[in-house]
Amino acid sequence: MLRIYLLVFLTQTQWFSRVLAQEYTLLESILLKRGYVLGVLLEVLLFLYFFNMEPDINEVFKYAARYSGRLFLGIYLLCFYLFRSAYLNKESLEITQKALGVFAVMHVIHFFFLAYSIHLNQVPIVPTRLAGGFIAYLMIVVYPFLIEKINRKAFHLTYFYYVGFVMIMTYISRVRGQFIGAESEAFHYIALIVLVFVLLIFGTQMVLKNNSIITKKNKSI
């Protein structure tokens, strides 16, 4: 009986692995062929939705910035997952680089929404937060162009951890109610827990594995 259960378990595991492989192939195809178009389209649709729903342009940009940031969280987690998977499985970072490029383009649009929302709603700027956020924005835009030239795991992890740290501090401020005009929501607690969990688990898995960085298919550094 135990052998039967074991056989069923192995069969289901193999089936699940094949499904994940198929989903990964589909994701790779979408990112490589239509990633930038889909990223920009999502941001445009998000803006148009609030433009149609809110009569006040101040509120339009406030909500566009807020929900664009939530979309940004999902793309960040996807990029970190792709990088972690490529590293652990000794695969090319090509698909990760494409995802990071989409991430950078979408974040530039998010920055426009955020900056204009701050201007319209006259939100006071905290210099320390501005400096920390500026460094994160700069890293997000520059990293996709440099990923092929970086051969140290620590430098790659510095990018993901710093951007993740800035996001964690942002959600902590949200939870504490330190953002003017934005009350804490269940989403902020969930996002905070997910971010901490991902940084701990992914980081531990990669630190314990001493693989080479592969920037292109069949080319390792």
- Examine the pLDDT at 152 and tell me if it is beyond 60: yes
Task: Output the CA–CA distances (angstroms, integers) from residue 53 to 61, 62, 181, in the order listed.
Answer: 12, 13, 18
- Positive or negative, the Cα torsion across 164, 155, 215, 218? negative
- Examine the pLDDT at 17 and tell me if it is beyond 70: no
Give the tokens for residue 178: 């330190």
- Considering just the CA atoms, what is the radius of gyration of the chain in Å? 20
- Examine the pLDDT at 221 and tell me if it is beyond 50: no
Confidence tier at 42 by pLDDT (50, 70, 90)? confident
Q: Where are the domains of the chain?
A: 40-220
User: What pLDDT score was predicted for residue 127?
Assistant: 67
Task: Please give the mean pLDDT across all residues of the chain.
Answer: 78
Give the tokens for residue 8: 């069923």
